[in-house]
Amino acid sequence: QVQLVESGGGVVQPGRSLRLSCAASTSAFRSDAMHWVRQAPGKGLQWVAVISYDGTNKYYADSVKGRFTISRDNSKNTVYLQMNSLRFEDTAIYYCARDRGILGWNPWGQGTLVTVSS
């Protein structure tokens, strides 16, 4: 059973950068696409980005395109989200999730909180 653990969140000033990590407990995740999803305080879920199993294909939500970069290192069982030019509206809990194709996204990590504040 794959487990996901996010890290790297914290408080950051507007315009600065932060890199989030999502570590998988087994190498089984190497065959799956991975997503980042965020949830602003008291709000709903917003998809952020996806990366294919081998890292060759990446897609982003319009709200983060050009500022965020998703990547993965399968040798380390880890997916990353590099967040640049952060804005107040990027404040959220960021979750990673494993894409099992038609079987849905499961599991999700516990989330890491990013707060953009001056």
The reply on whether position 44 binds another protein by CB under 8 A is: yes
Residue of 20, 33, 81, 114 that binds another protein (CB under 8 A): 33
The reply on whether position 53 binds another protein by CB under 8 A is: no
DSSP string over 19-81: EEEEEESSGGGGGSEEEEEEE-TT--EEEEEEE-TTSS-EEE-TTTTTTEEEEEEGGGTEEEE
Residue of 2, 30, 46, 69 that binds another protein (CB under 8 A): 46
The reply on whether position 31 binds another protein by CB under 8 A is: no
- 65 versus 87: smaller Cβ distance to another protein: 65
> Which residue is it, tokens 């996806």?
50
The reply on whether position 29 binds another protein by CB under 8 A is: no
Q: Which residues form the interface with another protein (CB under 8 A)?
A: 33, 35, 37, 44-47, 50, 59, 61-62, 95, 99, 101-106, 108-111
